[in-house]
Amino acid sequence: MKNIFKIKFLILSVGMLLFSCTENSETGEVFDTISTSKVIVINAMPETTAINYKLLVNGLTYGNITSRQSFPYKSYSKANASDIIGMYNGFAPSSTLALTSVQDATKPQTVFVTLGNSFSQDKNYTVVAANFPLSPEGVVYEDDLTLPASGKAKIRLLNLVPNNTTMYDLYSGTTLIKANIAFKATSEFIEVTPGQQTLAIRKPGTLTNFRTRSINLQVGKIYTFFVTGSETVSSTSSITVAINYMLNKN
């Protein structure tokens, strides 16, 4: 399996070419000065060994997304190593995004997934490297960053646990927010009351929380929660199913 990690990498043909970018000093968002699509990248491929990746754009390391040149499992493009703000990066037509093993950047590489999606100008997207590293998939979600109503926050949940039969219901406390979220599916962005919340996922038809995440949701902010890990591989701490989150809009 390690040898396969060493020769394979994820290519996402997102129809975008890197242009000069500027950064919003308040939110950490990076965007193109000419009109572009804007993208956050998540590595959600569960791994039993510590394989780090870096993001390439047209074959070159893209430092704004991965300044440390590593993009490990459960990480996402962000403004700083210590924060949870997802960083939108601006691209224009005809670029290729690739996620490749840091340890093996000089070795022959094999394309194992290609996306030909057409991205729209001036829209925001989350691009996910999903499924197991031996059978990876690129998944694209459009991000609606319309501000929530006054006094509200917005959340959504992505199910990135690789199992076509696994579905989750999303709860806030004991209140059902969204039912039957399948692998690679997402809820829409949903307005919720801010403050201290315990978000939970349950297996459909059950009354017991499968996983929980406590968070103090802030007024006016937009969050993506994403479930990672595996239920089908023998349990290890590195791939236990967990609820992660990032800020789409700070």
Among 64-68, 75-79, 204-208, 238-242, the range scoring the smallest mean pLDDT is 64-68
Give the count of domains, the chain: 2
Q: Decide: helix, strand or coil at residue 147.
A: coil
143, 174, 207 - which closes a domain:
143
For the segment 7-26, what is each residue's pLDDT rounded down to a tens digit? Answer: 344 544 444 333 344 444 44
Residues whose CB falls within 8 Å of the CB of residue 200, separated by 6 or more in sequence, listed in order:
170, 171, 172, 173, 209, 210, 211, 212, 213
The answer to whether residues 168 and 210 touch, using CB atoms and an 8 Å cutoff, is yes
| 20 and 136 fall within a common domain | yes
Instruction: Give the whole-angstrom CA distance, residue 138 versus residue 20.
Output: 25
| 54 and 97 fall within a common domain | yes
| 228 and 157 fall within a common domain | yes
Q: Which residue carries 């691209």 as its tokens?
A: 91
For the segment 197-237, what is each residue's pLDDT rounded down to a tens digit? Answer: 999 999 999 999 999 999 999 999 999 999 999 887 655 56
| 126 and 221 fall within a common domain | no
**Which alpha helices (DSSP H) does the chain contain, by range?**
2-7
| 133 and 117 fall within a common domain | yes
| 166 and 195 fall within a common domain | yes
> Which of 2, 48, 76, 43 lies closest to 239 in space, CA to CA?
48
> Which of 199, 196, 198, 194 lies closest to 151 in space, CA to CA?
194
| 138 and 208 fall within a common domain | no
The answer to whether residues 152 and 184 touch, using CB atoms and an 8 Å cutoff, is no
pLDDT range class, residue 125, cuts 50, 70, 90: confident
Q: CA dist 224 to 45, 145, 238, 247, Å?
A: 17, 11, 21, 6
Specify the CATH number for the domain of residue 197: 2.60.40.1120
| 12 and 136 fall within a common domain | yes
126, 143, 160 - which closes a domain:
143
3-state helix, strand, coil in the chain (%, to 5): 5, 45, 50
| 111 and 204 fall within a common domain | no
| 70 and 160 fall within a common domain | no
Query: Which domain does 215 fall in, by range?
Result: 145-250
| 181 and 246 fall within a common domain | yes
Q: Which residue carries 């490297």 as its tokens?
A: 129
| 151 and 138 fall within a common domain | no
